[in-house]
């Protein structure tokens, strides 16, 4: 968490910020990624319902944007994969030539435009992550309770999970459980063995055993950080193999300090039916785990579960260990909706800016086509890399959740908190130079890959074909390609972006640029003018701040600016954390620091917007009803000023309104006339005689 020196000024703007951070390096977490804050405002263009491939806008534009993509660091866009672990990834080829596929360019541009246009964060799978964090009070409070004997008592109950095929439901038969010391099992030192290894070692002996359950009591197990004894409260198994109680031996996973397993006994005659949502969460968490692959073949599965505090007949969650992976209270979509519900819950026929450009599967065809960009000249290769390329887990809440407001006890926010929000749009900040890809910390070659990137300085020549875009939309595309014509900023593309690979710059080939307005009398504008159309439009849409000064734009640009990496690494690092640091950082309550920002190079200027100024509100092929009304409402004060008449009714009856209407083109003309006719009828009046003549001659 980054401290603010003044409540109204971001900390990184303060002159002593970097000195302060150097002295408090322990408060921040290292990561090769950072986040652009998610906006609580979403921009929905008014022309969305009019977008079509078959019905062109009167003011629409089509054409081709040729460009050169220059690799500023070695670049690797993955194609075929061959060989055994570590597998070798080969550079993408099309028709035998090295190239960047259009889908990669499209994805890179969309990730920028979704942020810059204040579109929804909708292309995110809804997952309910889980956590097992013995350092966090939330986790301990959910699964343990300190009782009257000053001992930690587990709240998880035991039970047998079984699928009822006749009713197509999952059910749990509750039971008691006792804990048994490893030395009583006669299996030697099994602390480091996995669950399946323990079961395999125990075989062929039966899992059903005889024992005597002791009474529930506290047992000394360890010491806290102050050297005070810590006690756990449970039933301890005695008289193993000679007692009078029947039970089933249950093994769970490994831990360096673990020295006990479980015996399930005394099952009840009743069954509790699991809600499908609870079972889905369990399966999502465990589907790829070794212990579930083992147990799903068995008719009955020993589980631990938490019972709903308000309903003893409802299971709230379950797992395969006593201190199991606890599902978070909030799913990914719920965390997103805490910032703005409309990111997730919206009318599927109401499209945001990015959807209008790139399309929506099954609903709307995109109007931008990114073609394959072949390599220019002979390929030059950089040094071969080998290491782990997998992305960090998004369940790591110190980084992926906003930590600017901690809990009252200064705990890190988790997805258990009602007000938890995601950190935002994930980005990999660019830097001056790439770093070597790192190997797996445990030497596991199955998690590693080999690849040889094309060298820095490699150029790719591509084209973007666009169809029936409005000037604002074309300006957005130009802005995203060139970062608003700021040459110092960079894109990131391909594999190993977290190590600085794939940084690139896009330059538009102006000589071969083709821009063709749909209307033969409309003039082509400059790239600068189209970009201004977009920026001025966005400024019109935002309510609480200017677009260029919004956290979304300044952070987006900040992570595209290599100069900021130098500033950032004065108090944190863009390197990957070591495995041990993930747990230690949570214990130390470290979180991801705010990334430095960059100001927009060319500011929005309404004076530079000429013909495009009309596109901010009015000129569309078939505007929504409210936009038609808006056009009329805009004309009324103008006409009242021209005629020196304060009557709204006289304004809509006037010849001046008819003259303004006559200048309209396309379907908007008939829509406006229909709206005016409705207003005349409601007021029991008609347009003036001269106005009627214009309407009759203009239809």
The HSE-up count of residue 658 (CA atoms within 13 Å, CB side) is 19
What's the token pair of residue 453?
A: 């990137």
The model's pLDDT over 591-637, given as tens digits with 9 standing for 90+, comes to: 999 999 999 999 888 776 655 555 554 444 434 455 576 668 767 87
| Burial per residue of 469-487, b for 16 or more beta-carbon CB atoms within 10 angstroms, e otherwise | bbbbbbbbbbbbbbbbebe
pTM, to two decimals = 0.79
User: Smallest Cα–Cα separation from 325: which of 295, 296, 294, 283?
Assistant: 283
Task: Identify the pLDDT of residue 17.
Answer: 40
What's the token pair of residue 445?
A: 């070659």
609 by DSSP, 3-state: which? coil
Cα dihedral 354→359→365→370 (10° resolution): 80
The model's pLDDT over 497-551, given as tens digits with 9 standing for 90+, comes to: 999 999 999 999 999 999 988 887 788 999 999 999 999 999 989 888 899 999 9
Ordered alpha helix ranges (H), 447-526:
471-482
CA angle 46, 50, 54 (to 5 degrees): 155
Task: Mark the ranges of the chain whose per-residue pLDDT is less than 50.
Answer: 1-26, 617-624
Cα–Cα distance measured from residue 150 to residue 162, given in angstroms and rounded to the nearest whole number: 36
Task: Identify the pLDDT of residue 612.
Answer: 54
Q: Which residue in the block uniquely carries the two structure tokens 């080999």?
A: 450
Written in H, E and C, the secondary structure of 409-422 is CCCCCCCCCCCCCE
What are the start-end ranges of the E strands in 134-195?
144-146, 152-154, 157-164, 169-181
Cα–Cα distance measured from residue 69 to residue 71, given in angstroms and rounded to the nearest whole number: 7
Task: Identify the pLDDT of residue 28.
Answer: 84
- For the chain, helix (H) and strand (E) counts, in that order, are 20, 30
Cα–Cα distance measured from residue 179 to residue 263, given in angstroms and rounded to the nearest whole number: 6
Element (H, E) at 317: strand 315-319
């Amino acid at each position: 968490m980054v401290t603010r020196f003044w409540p109204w000024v971001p900390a990184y703007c303060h002159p002593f910020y970097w000195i302060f951070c150097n002295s408090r390096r322990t408060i921040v977490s290292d990561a090769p990624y950072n986040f652009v804050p998610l906006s609580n405002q979403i921009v929905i263009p008014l022309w969305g319902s009019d977008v079509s491939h078959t019905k062109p806008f009167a003011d629409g534009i089509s054409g081709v944007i040729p460009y050169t993509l220059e690799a500023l660091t070695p670049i690797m866009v993955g194609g075929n994969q061959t060989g055994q672990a570590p597998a070798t990834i080969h550079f993408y080829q099309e028709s035998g030539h090295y190239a960047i596929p259009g889908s990669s360019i499209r994805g890179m541009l969309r990730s920028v435009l979704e942020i810059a246009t204040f579109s929804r964060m909708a292309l995110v799978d809804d997952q309910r992550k889980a956590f097992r964090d013995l350092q966090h009070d939330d986790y301990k409070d959910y699964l343990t309770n300190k009782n009257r004997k000053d001992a930690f008592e587990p709240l998880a109950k035991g039970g047998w999970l079984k699928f009822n095929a006749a009713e197509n439901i999952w059910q749990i038969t509750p039971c008691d459980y006792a804990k048994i010391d490893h030395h009583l099992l006669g299996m030697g030192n099994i602390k480091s063995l996995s669950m399946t290894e323990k079961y395999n070692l125990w075989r062929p002996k039966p899992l059903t055993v005889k024992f005597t359950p002791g009474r529930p009591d506290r047992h000394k197990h360890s010491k806290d950080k102050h050297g005070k004894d810590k006690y756990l409260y449970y039933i301890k198994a005695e008289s193993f193999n000679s007692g009078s109680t029947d039970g089933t031996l249950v093994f769970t996973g490994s831990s360096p300090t673990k020295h006990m397993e479980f015996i399930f006994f005394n099952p009840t005659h009743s069954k509790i039916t699991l809600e499908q949502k609870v079972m889905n969460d369990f399966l999502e968490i465990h589907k790829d785990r070794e212990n579930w692959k083992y147990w799903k073949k068995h008719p009955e599965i020993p589980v631990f579960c938490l019972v709903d505090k308000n309903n003893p007949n409802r299971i709230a969650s379950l797992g395969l260990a006593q201190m199991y992976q606890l599902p978070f209270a909030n799913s990914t979509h719920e965390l997103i909706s805490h910032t703005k519900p409309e990111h997730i819950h919206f009318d599927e026929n109401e499209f945001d800016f990015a959807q209008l450009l790139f399309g929506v599967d099954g609903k709307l065809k995109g109007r931008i086509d990114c073609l394959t960009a072949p390599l220019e000249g002979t390929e030059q290769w950089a040094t071969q890399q080998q290491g782990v390329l997998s992305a960090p887990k998004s369940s790591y809440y110190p980084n992926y959740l906003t930590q600017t407001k901690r809990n009252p006890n200064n705990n890190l926010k988790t997805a258990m908190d009602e007000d938890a929000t995601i950190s935002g749009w994930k980005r990999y900040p660019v830097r001056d130079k790439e770093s070597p890809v790192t190997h797996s910390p445990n030497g596991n070659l199955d998690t590693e890959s080999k690849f040889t990137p094309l060298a820095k300085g490699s150029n790719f020549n591509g084209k973007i074909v666009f169809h029936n875009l409005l000037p604002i939309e074309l300006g957005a595309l130009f802005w995203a390609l060139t970062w608003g014509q700021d040459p110092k900023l960079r894109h990131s593309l391909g594999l190993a972006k977290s190590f600085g690979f794939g940084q690139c710059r896009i330059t538009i080939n102006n000589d071969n640029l083709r821009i063709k307005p749909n209307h033969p009398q409309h003039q082509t504008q400059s790239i600068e003018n189209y970009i201004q159309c977009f920026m001025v439009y966005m400024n019109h849409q935002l309510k609480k701040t200017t677009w260029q000064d919004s956290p979304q734009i300044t952070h987006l640009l900040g992570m595209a600016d290599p100069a900021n990496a130098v500033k950032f690494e004065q108090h944190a690092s863009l390197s990957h954390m070591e495995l041990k640091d993930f747990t230690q950082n949570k214990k130390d309550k470290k979180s991801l620091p705010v990334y430095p920002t960059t100001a927009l190079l060319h500011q929005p200027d309404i004076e530079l917007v000429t013909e495009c100024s009309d596109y901010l509100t009015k000129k569309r092929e078939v505007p929504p009803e409210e936009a038609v009304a808006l056009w009329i409402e805009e004309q009324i004060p103008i006409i009242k000023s021209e005629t020196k008449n304060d009557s709204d009714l006289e304004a809509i009856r006037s010849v001046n309104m008819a003259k303004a209407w006559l200048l309209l083109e396309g379907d908007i003309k008939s829509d406006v006339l229909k709206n005016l006719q409705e207003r005349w009828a409601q007021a029991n009046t008609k347009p003036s005689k001269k106005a009627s003549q214009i309407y009759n001659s203009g239809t």
